[in-house]
Chain A
Amino acid sequence: MRLPVYLDYAATTPADPAVVEAMVPYLGLEGCFANPASISHAAGRTARQAVEQARSEIAALVNAAPEEIVFTSGATESDNLALKGVVHSRGMSGAHVVTSRIEHKAVLDAARSIEADGGAVTYLRPEADGRIPPERVAEAIRPETVLVSIMLVNNEIGVIEDIAAIGAVCREHGVLFHVDAAQGAGKVPVDLARVPVDLMSFSGHKLYGPKGIGALYVRRAPEVRLDALVHGGGHEQGLRSGTLATHQIVGMGKAFAIARERLAEDAAHCGRLSAQLLEGLQRLGGVHVNGPAAEHRAAHILDLAFDGIVADSLLYFLTDVAVSTGSACSSGSRAPSYVLKAIGLSDERARSSLRVSVGRFTTDEEIAFAVEHIGAGVERLRAMAPSPA
């Protein structure tokens, strides 16, 4: 067993060995390193072909058309392009966006930037399990609303939002719908031919692909008007200029192709291991699941609160288990998780919480090891804990 046991798959995943193998030929002199925009020579055209093959693989995972996929540097850029791109295209002043309080920081910070530029944003409060009721979205839509942005799977508590119902609300009101699917794509099934979504963000590294690459789905029919944020060459249908990173794109394409084949198998594996982990830790007593019940939660994420401890202290002792106290993008902060606060948890409970996320390569042995080590750390801290006042 490799130590530390890695149980932070929601932060990032290791690249699948087949992904690494697929990427290498696109880097060096002996391989296909040419610029995929250099279609004046065969090497460039071969690189272009590889990029287009990857585009098709990514589109296939969500049943979209390849030409609806725009490559970006990652889901953060995709989220920014979706939110700011829509608002810019409509003229900033007075534009209104609806999102939720539990979105990823990439959406929330893009929304703050829209507000700073004169736009307006409504941040919806979720239910106690993290779900956003579609009727709450409907109530928030105003005549000047241009976009609704709700994530597919929350990165901390794993709640799966009902994007089909929320999308239907958006269609009914003639408002564009963006979904941040960085955490959900390849983990829960998505069929964009059936679900009314206009824009969807993807990440390579959350799905066993490389870091530094992502994509934005931009619906063709009805066409979504979007302003580019990065200019310089008109790549990606003018929506995202910059030389395409062939090796990363190929890696992401391979990762998405594998995910399409393994979606059900991966979900079953993660669900079984998460249940095993929960069962093992619940023997400690005073262990609570934050967020939704299993049927509304992505199988790979489990956010747990442990009575009588501060999770930051627990992390100190977990030198052989890699877990986190929140999203990787805000877990350096000492403030309690904004996601856990938004679903109504107290500061004390939020501070006692740990996110454990499993993945394709997690084994039963690793789960048993984690249960033992997390359990020992919790008991050690509880031995010092003050009795309730």
Chain B
Amino acid sequence: MPGPEAFGAFARDHIENPRNTGPLPVVAGAVIGSGEAGSRASGSLVRLRVAVHGHVIVAARYELLGEPALVACASYLSECLAGRRAEPAAIPSGLEIARALELPREAHGAGLLAEDAARRALENVPGAGGGD
């Protein structure tokens, strides 16, 4: 299991100071979508929630159970999503997430899991990305 020395400074910062944890902020008029990927049994589970207003993601929050790489991926992704259009093309791929964080190759799966959770969250937004 990788310790801090296995990660670059950018990933370490996300692991040690994870962004956007806790409940979603209340945004008037926003609708919420929630998506989950992984499982408790596999030791990697991420549950992502997005608040969408006017086809724009205004906030993303997550809960997770998993290895440090998954913390980095969920934290980084939650920052990326805020302000983007609520559509699948706006979600960075798992590989892009892993590369941005310079994760070791064996941890790239964490990026894919974060991506999957984000896609499902957007799919579950009532009105398919609505919120007007």
Chain A residues close to B by CB (< 8 Å): 308-310, 312-313, 315-317, 319, 325, 331-332, 334, 336, 346-348, 351, 383-387
Q: Are B41 and A348 in contact (CB under 8 A)?
A: yes
CB neighbors of A among B50-78 (8 A)? 62-68, 71
- For the complex formed, measure the closest distance between the CB of B29 and the CB atoms of chain A, giving whole angstroms: 26
A310 lies within 8 A of B3 (CB): no
B43 contact from A319, A331, A351, A385, Cβ within 8 A = A351
User: Cβ of B92 < 8 Å from any Cβ of A?
Assistant: no
Taking CB atoms, residues of chain A closer than 8 Å to B18 are: 384
B63 touches A315 (CB 8 A): no
Could you name 5 residue pairs across A and B whose Cβ atoms are closer than 8 Å?
A310-B44, A312-B67, A313-B71, A316-B2, A385-B63
Contact B63 A387 (CB under 8 A): yes
- Chain A residues closer than 8 Å to B67, beta-carbon distance: 310, 312-313, 316
**Chain B residues, CB < 8 A from A309:** 65
CB-based nearest B residue for A309: B65
Residues of A within 8 A of B16 (CB): 317
Question: Is the pair B43, A312 in contact by a Cβ cutoff of 8 Å?
Answer: yes
Is there an interface contact between A386 and B64, defined as CB atoms closer than 8 Å? yes
Instruction: With a 10 A CB-CB cut-off, give which of B1, B2, B45, B71 has the most chain A CB atoms.
Output: B1
Known: A308-B65, A385-B64. A316 touches B43 (CB 8 A): no
Q: Which residue of A lies closest to B70 (CB)?
A: A313
Pick from A312, A348, A384, A387: contact of B21, CB under 8 Å: A384
In the complex, per-residue mask of B26-43: 1 if CB is within 8 Å of any chain A CB, else 0: 000000000010001111
Task: Find chain B residues with CB under 8 A from A351 CB.
Answer: 43
A386–B65 touching, CB < 8 Å: yes
B47 CB-CB contact with A under 8 Å: yes
Q: Which residues of A contact B44 (CB under 8 A)?
A: 310
Asked if residues B63 and A319 are in contact (CB atoms below 8 Å), the reply is no
User: Does B25 have its Cβ within 8 Å of any Cβ on chain A?
Assistant: no
Let me know if B98 is at the binding interface, CB within 8 A: no
Beyond known contacts A315-B3, A316-B15, A386-B36: 20 more, CB 8 A cutoff: A308-B65, A310-B44, A310-B65, A310-B67, A312-B1, A312-B43, A312-B67, A316-B4, A334-B1, A334-B43, A346-B41, A347-B40, A347-B42, A347-B43, A384-B63, A384-B64, A384-B71, A385-B63, A386-B46, A387-B63
Residues of A within 8 A of B43 (CB): 310, 312, 334, 336, 347-348, 351
Question: B68 near A316 (CB under 8 angstroms)?
Answer: yes
CB distance from B24 to the nearest CB of A (A): 14
In the complex where A310-B67, A386-B64 touch, is A347 in contact with B3 (Cβ < 8 A)?
Answer: no
Min CB distance A94 to B, Å, is 39
What's the minimum C-beta distance from A7 to chain B, rounded to whole angstroms? 16
A336 to B65, CA, bound (A): 15
Give which listed residue, B1, B36, B45, B46, contacts A315 with CB less than 8 A.
B1
- Interface centre among B3, B4, B36, by most chain A C-beta atoms within 10 angstroms, is B3
- Return the chain B residue nearest A312 by Cβ: B1
Q: Which 5 A-B pairs have the closest CB atoms?
A: A386-B63, A312-B1, A351-B43, A347-B41, A316-B68
A288 CB to closest chain B CB, in angstroms? Answer: 16
| Residue of A310, A315, A331, A385 with most chain B CB atoms under a 10 A cut-off | A310
Among residues of B, the one whose C-beta sits closest to the C-beta of A315 is B1
Residues in A whose Cβ lies below 8 Å from that of B42:
347
**B45 contacts which chain A residues (CB < 8 A)?**
386
A319 CB contacts on chain B under 8 angstroms = 3-4
Q: How far is the CA of A312 from the CA of B63 in the complex (A)?
A: 17
* Interface contact A383-B65, CB-CB below 8 Å: no
Contacts of A348 in B (CB 8 A): 40-41, 43
Chain A's closest residue to B16 (CB) is: A317
Smallest CB–CB gap between B86 and chain A, Å?
A: 23
User: Which residues of chain B are within 8 angstroms of A315 by Cβ–Cβ distance?
Assistant: 1, 3
Instruction: Tell me the bound Cα distance from A275 to B65 in angstroms.
Output: 28
Name the residue of chain A whose CB is nearest to the CB of B38. A386
Give which listed residue, A313, A317, A387, contacts B66 with CB less than 8 A. A313
In the complex, what distance in Å separates the CA atom of A351 from the CA atom of B43? 6
Q: Which residue of chain B is the closest to A382 with respect to CB atoms? A: B65
Cα(A315)–Cα(B15), bound, Å: 12
